Amino acid sequence: MTDFIVTITDPALLDGITWAREQHNAAVAPPNSPPEPLPDAEGVDDPEDGMETPSVEITPDQRLLESDEAYVQWVMEQAAISYAEQKEQAAWRQAYLESQQQVTRRRNG
């Protein structure tokens, strides 16, 4: 694990982070408030069949972020996930290109 320190001193930028966190939180369903199940859907509470509504797991993208610090941490985690995926895709592309070059060399060689 590596700790990074981010310093933001411009009040307008800090207000922007607060605004973005509030937008994120507004888009997230409140905890313990799963979406309404569709009528006759499996797992809906029905005294006749004894089935219960399945528990809804809240993913990190769906959790409320209580502070601007938590929001910046979440944003950086999302960026790091994206960077790791891009790195993996680039490695696959490079391996593919190298294999295509080998095939071309064999054909021409």
Predicted confidence at residue 109, as pLDDT, reads 75
Distance of alpha carbon 20 from alpha carbon 77, whole angstroms: 16
Contact 26, 18 (CB under 8 A): no
Predicted confidence at residue 101, as pLDDT, reads 94
Distance of alpha carbon 25 from alpha carbon 61, whole angstroms: 10
Predicted confidence at residue 38, as pLDDT, reads 58
Distance of alpha carbon 107 from alpha carbon 104, whole angstroms: 5
Phi, psi values for residue 51, rounded to 5°: -80, 150
Contact 63, 32 (CB under 8 A): no
Count CB-CB contacts under 10 A for residue 71: 19
Q: What are the pLDDT tens digits along the chain (109 aa)? A: 899 999 999 999 999 999 999 999 999 866 566 555 656 555 555 556 666 655 555 566 678 999 999 999 999 999 999 999 999 999 999 999 999 999 998 999 7
Predicted confidence at residue 28, as pLDDT, reads 87
Reference 25, options 58, 56, 3; nearest CA is: 58
